[in-house]
Amino acid sequence: MKTQNKGFTLIELLVVIAIIGILASVVLASLNSARTKGADAAIKANMANIRAQAALYYDTNNTYGTSITCNITSLGVITTCTGVFDANPGAQEGLKAAAAAAGSTAYGYTDSTGAAWAAAVALKTTGAGYFCVDSNGAGKIVTTMALGTAFTVCP
User: Domain range spanning residue 87?
Assistant: 10-142
Instruction: Determine, yes or no, domain membership for 149.
Output: no
**Ramachandran angles phi, psi of 131, nearest 5°:** -105, 125
Q: Is residue 31 part of a domain?
A: yes
Interval 2-51: pLDDT, tens: 667 778 888 999 999 999 999 998 888 878 888 888 989 999 998 888 88
Q: Would you say residue 2 lies in a domain?
A: no
Q: Is residue 62 part of a domain?
A: yes
Half-sphere exposure of 1 (CA within 13 A, CB side): 1
For residue 84, being part of any structural domain is answered with yes
- Identify the pLDDT of residue 53: 85
Distances (CA, A) of 88 to 17, 80, 82, 152: 56, 14, 9, 18
Task: For 84-137, write each residue's pLDDT tens digit.
Answer: 776 667 777 888 888 888 888 888 888 888 888 888 998 988 788 899 999 888
The answer to the question of residue 25 being in a domain is: yes
Query: Domains in the chain: how many in total?
Result: 1
